[in-house]
Structure 1
């Protein structure tokens, strides 16, 4: 366990020292500020109500989980695998007294920490923006639903990261992985529109999983089905990704 903890701390330090995590946080804040300014402008210019203090964080979440967060998750995942292979820094990592399974798991865990930290930052700043501009509409129930929505959004993002990690071990070039990831993301979005009956199987549709928790009727069956699909997909992607990572030659 101590060896894994050391490997995890090392991976988190690598992410912390790279600019991608900082840029992701800055862009997320820009989205919040820009979104709130637009809402204020619409409210004052056209006399519309705009969004409430709890509705605004949900609007931010809807935009970010379908754009900025997948993009930077892809960049961070590619950099953690393809980037280190291309820079030959992976050789140094694997020469340490730690198994490849622990290295792979530590990298995935560090990416999960990055995603969770980004979601928490978005939650905090979007809540602050919502309270500042429309504090009267806040209720304890709506606050709890908002926080829960951000937390459950972590699971589909983990599955997405595992899928990209698999691609990084299939292709040597990080640029190839990036463009293939974008094409697959767009392709799955399109397929989800044309084949809506199978949309729950697509990784891109699962990014909106949190919406199921906001329905008044609370569709437990759909929630459980989506959870099991994501869990199964995650296990298969993790296993396939590690298999390729373990067989990869330096």
Structure 2
């Protein structure tokens, strides 16, 4: 366990020093600021009712999990695998007295922590912005649902990251992985529209899993079905990704 912790700390330090993590945070905060400016402008200019203090964080989440967060998750994931192979940094990592499984697991854990940290910071700043501009529309129930929605959004994002990890071990070039990831992401979005009856098995549709927790009648069966699909997908992607990672020669 101590060896894994050391590997994880090393991976987190690498992420901390990279500008992509900071760029993801700044761009996400820009979404909050621009979104709130638009909402205030619409309300003051047209006199229309806009998003309340707890509705605004959900608007931010719906935008971020379908655009910015998948993009930067892909960039961070590609940098953690393809980037290190390209710059021969992986050779240094693998010479340490740590098994490849622990290194692989540490990288996945570090990426998951990056995603969770981004979600929690977005949650904090979007709630603060919502309270500042819409102080009288919050309830305890809406607050709890909002917090829970941000937390559960971690799981589908990790599944997406595992899919990108698989691609990084299939393709040599990080640029190739990035563009293939975008094409697959857009392709799955289109498939979700035209084949809505099968959309629950698609990664892109699973990004909106949090919506199930916002329904008044708690759909436990749908939630568990989606959870089991994502769990099965994550196990298969992790296994396939590690198999390719373990077979790579430096």
TM over 0.5: yes
SS, match of residue 79 in structure 1: helix
Range moving further from structure 2, 192-201 or 215-224: 215-224
- The Cα offsets for residues 147-194 of structure 1, whole Å up to 9 and x where unpaired, read as 000000000000000000000000000000000000000000000000
Tell me which stretches of 4 or more aligned residues in structure 1 moved more than 4 Å. Answer: none
Q: Give the whole-Å Cα distance in 1 for the aligned partners of 2:31 and 2:159.
A: 24
Alignment-derived partner of residue 61 in structure 1: 61
Residue of structure 1 in register with 2:148 after alignment:
148
> Is 2:91 the partner of 1:76?
no
TM-score (norm 2): 1.00
Q: Partner of 1:192: helix, strand, or coil?
A: helix
How far 1:49 sits from its partner (Å)? 1.2
1:53-112 Cα offsets, whole Å, 9 max, x none, are 000000000000000000000000000000000000000000000000000000000000
Q: Which whole-Å CA distance do the structure 1 matches of 2:43 and 2:65 have between them?
A: 25
Match of 1:90 in 2: 90
Gaps of 5+ in 2: none
**Aligned equivalents of 2:135 and 2:109: distance in 1?**
36
Aligned to 2:104: 104
Distance 1:154 1:160 in 2: 10
**1:52: Cα distance to partner?**
0.2
Counterpart-to-counterpart distance in 1, 2:33 and 2:63? 13
The residue number in structure 2 matching 1:201 is 201
Consecutive unaligned residues in structure 1, runs of 5 or more: none
Deviation for aligned residue 1:219? 1.0
Match of 1:123 in 2: 123
CA distance in 2, matches of 1:166, 1:35: 34
Give distance in 2, aligned partners of 1:81 and 1:95: 16
Q: How many residues align?
A: 250
Alignment TM-score, normalising by the size of structure 1: 1.00
> Separation in 2 of the partners of 1:68 and 1:191?
21
Quick check: 1:230 aligned with 2:230? yes
- Name the CA distance, whole Å, in 1 between partners of 2:131 and 2:137: 9
Displacement after TM superposition at 1:20 (Å): 0.3
RMSD, aligned α-carbons? 0.3
In structure 2, what is the equivalent of residue 243 of structure 1?
243
Q: Which whole-Å CA distance do the structure 1 matches of 2:137 and 2:220 have between them?
A: 28
Which residue of 1 is the match for residue 168 of structure 2?
A: 168
